[in-house]
């Protein structure tokens, strides 16, 4: 697996536009993924411990699994999965820096070679 920074020709025109930056759709999808992970994680952390949890559709769908789905162990596992989702969301927020392009010199030209 090669890094895209090492081989810029490997990424097609849909990955980079003419200015060499990442398209806004890629940035938007990365932000939406961060939001999705954080919201799903918060939901999985909080929902199993609410009073309405035993009456949700998943628990009512199969009555023979009600004991398992309402047990504290299963609720704890769901909370752990929610914590994992929050961690992934926070890591992805910090990875958004990969879309930050370095500042170009104000003169617009290249720097003279060092002698």
Residues 6+ apart with CB under 8 A from 49: 75, 79
Degrees to nearest 5, angle at CA 52 with 48 and 44? 25
With beta carbons less than 8 A apart as the criterion, state whether 36 and 92 touch. Answer: no
The answer to whether 40 touches 34, Cβ cutoff 8 Å, is no
Predicted confidence at residue 56, as pLDDT, reads 87
Average pLDDT value for residue range 107-112: 62
* Lowest mean pLDDT across 9-13, 36-40, 67-71, 88-92: 9-13
Please count the other Cβ atoms lying within 10 Å of the Cβ belonging to residue 34. Answer: 19
Backbone φ and ψ of 51, nearest 5° = -70, -25
- Higher-pLDDT residue of 91, 110: 91
Residue 114 binned pLDDT confidence (cut-offs 50, 70, 90): confident
Give the separation between CA 69 and CA 55, rounded to whole angstroms. Answer: 11
pLDDT at 18: 44
């Amino acid at each position: 697996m090669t890094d895209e920074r090492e081989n810029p020709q490997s990424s097609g025109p849909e990955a980079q536009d003419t200015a060499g930056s990442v398209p806004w759709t890629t940035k938007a999808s990365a932000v939406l993924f961060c939001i999705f992970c954080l919201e799903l994680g918060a939901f999985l952390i909080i929902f199993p411990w609410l009073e309405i949890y035993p009456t949700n559709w998943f628990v009512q769908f199969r009555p023979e699994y009600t004991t398992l789905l309402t047990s504290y162990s299963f609720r704890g596992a769901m909370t752990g999965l929610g914590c994992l989702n929050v961690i992934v969301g926070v890591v992805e927020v910090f990875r958004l820096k990969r879309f930050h392009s370095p500042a170009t010199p104000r003169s617009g030209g290249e720097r003279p070679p060092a002698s």
